[in-house]
């Protein structure tokens, strides 16, 4: 992916059936599929990295009716808006966190790499980004 390309979120797809099913969204131009939780991890990492910068908000995560086509389409539009707003912010656009996310869909903070809800730790010190991100988010 070239960094001059404008990223976009589109083409939501439902994966699986029943209560364990979920939706993935295509992030272009890298054409990787990303879950909502990965966008959430990105936002938390950005809040941690830039505590005095207003980080765009994500659409609310609803568990009831979360797979209804109308809600999925609306969430996709809002995720695309989130990506567009992040791209317009020079600090975010130039950050390693952002560039890594656009290329891989993962977020690396410190020495921790987060893929969706699952964590893959390196051999170095790990810290809980969820707790830190929650505090920073509340302060904004």
With bands split at pLDDT 50, 70 and 90, how would you rate the model's confidence at 63?
low
Q: How many C-beta atoms surround the C-beta of residue 89 within 10 A?
A: 17
Helices 69-88 and 36-49: crossing angle, nearest 10°? 30
From the options 3.30.1520.10, 1.10.2020.10, 3.50.50.60, 3.30.420.40, give the CATH code of 8-139: 3.30.1520.10
Q: Which segments within the chain are labelled E, that is strand?
A: 8-15, 22-28, 32-35, 107-109, 112-115, 118-121
Give the pLDDT of residue 124.
Answer: 34
Sorted by where each begins, the domain ranges of the chain are 8-139
pLDDT single digits (tens) 6-33: 899 999 999 998 888 889 999 999 999 9
SS3 at position 6: coil
Q: How far apart are CA 5 and CA 110, in angstroms?
A: 27
pLDDT single digits (tens) 73-109: 999 999 999 999 999 999 999 999 999 999 999 887 5
């Amino acid at each position: 992916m070239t960094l001059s390309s404008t990223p976009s979120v589109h083409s939501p797809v439902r994966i699986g059936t029943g209560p364990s099913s979920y939706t993935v969204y295509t992030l272009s131009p890298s054409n990787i599929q990303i879950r909502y939780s990965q966008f959430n991890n990105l936002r938390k990492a950005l809040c941690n990295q830039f505590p005095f910068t207003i980080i765009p908000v994500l659409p609310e995560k609803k568990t009831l009716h979360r797979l209804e086509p109308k809600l999925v389409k609306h969430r996709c539009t809002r995720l695309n808006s989130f990506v567009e707003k992040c791209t317009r912010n020079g600090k975010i656009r130039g950050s390693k966190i952002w560039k890594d996310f656009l290329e891989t869909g993962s977020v690396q903070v410190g020495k921790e790499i987060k893929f969706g809800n699952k964590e893959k730790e390196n051999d170095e010190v790990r810290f809980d980004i969820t707790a830190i991100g929650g505090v920073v988010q509340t302060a904004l």
